[in-house]
Amino acid sequence: MLAGHCCVSGGEKGVPLKLVLEMHECKGDILGGQILVYRGACSVKVFKDKGGDRKQRQDQLKAEKISPTERVRQLQENEMI
C-alpha cells in the first residue's frame, strides 16, 4: 500500500514511472522456444522528499562557514566513531 500526504498548496507533481512484468515459460532449449505466459504493467508516480534536499543545503552552508582548522578537527572526530 502506498500513501501520500496532501497539503493545501496542492503539493508537488510526481515523476511517472511505468513498470512492466513479463513471465515466460521455456520449452526445450533455453535460447529459443519461450512462450509468453503473463504480461502486466502499471504506472506509478515517484515523489522526491524536499526535506532531504533542504537538509543537504543547510549542512553544506554550515560546512562552508566553518574554518579550515575546525573542519579538519571534525573530520578526525568522525573517523574515530
pTM of the entire predicted model = 0.38
What percentage of the chain carries pLDDT values higher than 90?
14
Q: What span, in angstroms and rounded, lies between the C-alpha atoms of 17 and 43?
A: 6
End-to-end alpha-carbon separation of the chain, Å? 38
Q: Residue ranges per domain, the chain?
A: 16-80
- pLDDT single digits (tens) 48-61: 666 777 778 888 88
Q: What was the pLDDT predicted at 12?
A: 63
- pLDDT single digits (tens) 14-38: 778 899 999 988 877 666 678 889 9
The torsion angle over the Cα atoms of residues 44, 46, 47 and 52, rounded to 10 degrees, is 150
CA nearest 16: which of 40, 42, 49, 39?
Answer: 42
Q: Is the pLDDT of residue 10 over 60?
A: no
The identity of residue 31, as a single letter, is: L
Q: What contacts 5, CB < 8 A, 6 or more positions away?
A: 11
